Structure 1
Amino acid sequence: MTKHQKRLSVPNSWPVERKEETFTVKAGAGPHGEAGVPLVIVLRDVLGYVDSVKEARYALNQGTVLVNGDAVSDHRRPIGMFDIIAFTERGEYYRVFPDEGGRLALTPIDEGDAESRLGKVVGKRNVPGGDVQLSLHDGTTLVVDDDAEYAGGDSLVVDSESKDVVAHFVYEEGALVTAVDGAHAGKVGTLDEIRVTPGSGSNTVSVSQDEGDGFETVEEYLVVIDENFVGDEEDAVTTTDTDDDSRIEAADESEDEDEVTEE
C-alpha cells in the first residue's frame, strides 16, 4: 500500500493546493473514510504550525495535541467534520467545520466547548442485552438504552471523556442544519421540507436561509446542529496564515526526510 496521495485526486474537502506539488501525505487508517484529512495537513497547510512531516512528528510526540480528547502521535491520523482539536500548551481549541466551499476549516472555540463533539446518527441496531448500538458519521459507536428516542439523521453531542450523550438534535422539518458535502457544503439554514423518494433513491430536502436563496440537496449531505455550532466565518482558519512566532516548537534538525511520499 502506498504512503502517498496525488494532490490532483484528493477530495474537495482537503485544504491543499492541488497544483503546488505532485504528492501529499495519505491519510492513515481511522475515522471519516476517504474524506479524512491527515493531521499533518492541518498542522502544516492550515495552521502553519510546522513546516514538515518531521516537525509534525516531533510536535505530536510531546503529547500536547489532542483530537476529541485523546493525545495523538500519528501524523496521518484522519481528521474530519466536527472533530475537536486541542493544543493544550497553547490553550487553543478548534472545531472542524466546512467553509462555504466545502473545504475543511477550523473554527476557534472555548475550552469548555472542546469537551464534547457532534456526531450524526447513520446507523442503529439492537445488540445482546436489549440495548441499542448507534453508529455515528465518523465511525464512532455508542451503546444506549433501548428506550432512547434516537433515529437515523439525528445529531448527538457526545462527551469526549465519559462518552455520554449530553445533547440531542432531532432531524425534522424546522431544524437548523448545515450541508457538509455537495455543491452547497458549508451553508447553514432551516430544514423546510423533506421529500421522500420511493425506492432506493436518496430523499431530497429544501433548506431556507435568512440571507440567501436557500438550496436543495440530498438528506445524506445534511447534519442537524444548533446555534453553538455555527462558526464565525471571519474567525475560521482554512489556509496557512501564521508567522514564525506561532509555530509549534520543533527539533533543530527540521528538514524533511528524503521521501517524495511525504511532501
Structure 2
Amino acid sequence: MTRHQKRLSVPKSWPVERKTATFTVKAGAGPHGEAGVPLLVVLRDVLGHVDSKKEARYALNQGTVLINGDAASDERRPIGMFDILAFTEREEYYRVFPDEGGRLALTPIDAAAADSRLGKVVGKQQVSGDAFQLTLHDGATLRVGADADYTPGDSLVVDNETKEIVAHFPYEEGALVTAVAGTHAGEIGTIEEITVTPGSGDNAVTVSQDEGDGFETIEEYVVVIDENFTGGADDESAARRTESDGGDEA
C-alpha cells in the first residue's frame, strides 16, 4: 500500500486545493473511513496554526489539541463529520460540519458546546447481556439497554467525557436535517416525507425549507440535527473553507 496521497484523488470531502501541488498527507487508520481528513491538513491548510508536519508534531506533543475530548497525538489521525476540535491554550473550539459541495468545514462553537458531539446511528445489533450495540457514522460503538428506543437513522448527542447519550433526535417526518453528501450537501431543512423504496433501492427523503424550494435526496445523505447545530453554519463554515497555498507532506 502506498504511503503517498495525490491531491487529485482525495475524497471530495477533503478541504484541500487539488491543483496547487501533486501530493498531500495521507490519512492514517482511524474513524470516518476514507472520508476522514488528516489532522495535519486541518492544522496547516485550513486553520494555518502550523506550517509543517514538524510543527504539527510539536503542537500535538503539548497535549492541548483535543478531538472529541481526547488529546490527539498523531498528525495523520482522520477528522470527520461532527467531530469536535478543541485548542485549549487558544480557547478555540470547532465543530466539523458539511459545507456546500460536501466539503468538510469548521464551524466555531463555544466551550460548552464542545463537551459533546453528534453521531448518526447507522447500525444496531443485539449483543450479550440483553443489550444492543449501536454503531455511529464514524465507526464508534455504544452499548445500550434492550429498552432503549434508538433506531438506525436517529441522531444521538454523546458526552465526550462520560460517553453517555445526553440527547436523542429521532429520524422521522418533521425532523430538522442537514444533507451531508450529494448535490444538496450543506443544505438544511425539515423532513416532509420519507418514501420507502421496495427491495434494495435507497429510501427517498423530501426536505422542505423556509427559504428555498426544498430538495429530495436519499436517506443515507441526511443527518438529523437540532437548531443548535445550524447557528452560523452557512456563513462561519464558509469563512473557514481552505485557501490552501499548496503545502505538501514536508
Question: Which TM class, normalised by the smaller chain length?
Answer: over 0.9
- Confirm whether residue 103 of structure 1 aligns to residue 103 of structure 2: yes
Q: Where in structure 2 are the equivalents of 1:182-201 lying within 5 Å? A: 182-201=182-201
Correspondence for 1:158: 158
Question: What do residues 3-51 of structure 1 show as CA deviations (whole Å, max 9, x unaligned)?
Answer: 2211111111110000000111110000001100000000011101111
Task: Show the counterpart of 1:249.
Answer: none
Q: Distance in 1 between matches of 2:243 and 2:148?
A: 43
TM-score scaled by length of structure 2: 0.95
Answer yes or no: is 1:144 the counterpart of 2:147.
no
Give the aligned partner of residue 22 of structure 2: 22
Checking the alignment, whether the CA contact within 8 Å between 1:44 and 1:240 is kept in structure 2 is no
Q: What one-letter code is carried by the residue in structure 2 that aligns with 1:31?
A: P
Post-superposition shift, 1:92?
0.6
Structure 2: state its 5+ residue gaps. Answer: none
Length, aligned pairs only: 245
Runs ≥4 residues deviating over 3 A = none
Residue 183 of structure 1: how far off its partner (Å):
1.0
1:186-225 correspondence runs (5 A)? 186-225=186-225
Using the alignment, how far apart are the partners of 1:139 and 1:123 within structure 2? Answer: 10
Report percent identity of matched pairs: 75
CA contact (8 A) 1:174 1:192 kept: yes
Question: Could you list the runs of 5+ residues in structure 1 that have no partner in the other structure?
Answer: 242-255
Alpha-carbon shift at residue 172 of structure 1 (Å): 0.2
Give the partner amino acid of 1:142.
L
Contact 2:133 2:141 in 1 (8 A): yes
Q: In the TM superposition, what is the alpha-carbon distance from 1:240 to its structure 2 partner?
A: 4.8
1:33 paired residue number: 33
SS at match of 2:51: coil
Instruction: Give the aligned residue type for 2:45.
Output: D
Alignment of 1:1-263 (within 5 A): 1-232=1-232, 233-236=234-237, 237-240=240-243, 262-263=249-250
User: Are the counterparts in 2 of residues 178 and 188 from structure 1 also a CA contact under 8 Å?
Assistant: yes
Partner SS state of residue 235, structure 1: helix
> Take 1:162 and 1:9, find their aligned partners in 2: how far apart are those partners?
38
Provide the rounded CA distance (Å) in 2 between the counterparts of 1:55 and 1:24: 16
Question: 2-side partners of 1:217 and 1:73: how far apart?
Answer: 38
The answer as to whether partners of 1:47 and 1:240 remain within 8 angstroms in 2 is: no
In 2: Cα distance, 1:168 partner to 1:235 partner = 26
Partners in 2 of 1:218 and 1:49 — Cα distance?
37
Cα distance in 2 for partners of 1:16, 1:240 equals 8
Alpha-carbon offset, residue 145 of structure 1:
0.7
Alpha carbons 2:123, 2:135 under 8 Å: kept:
yes
Q: TM-score, normalised by structure 1?
A: 0.91
SS of the aligned residue for 1:149 comes to coil
The aligned amino acid for 2:60 is L
Cα RMSD after superposing both structures = 1.3
SS class of match (1:172): coil
Cα deviation per residue 1:127-158 (whole Å; 9 max; x = unaligned)?
11001100000000000111000001000000
* 1:253 match: none
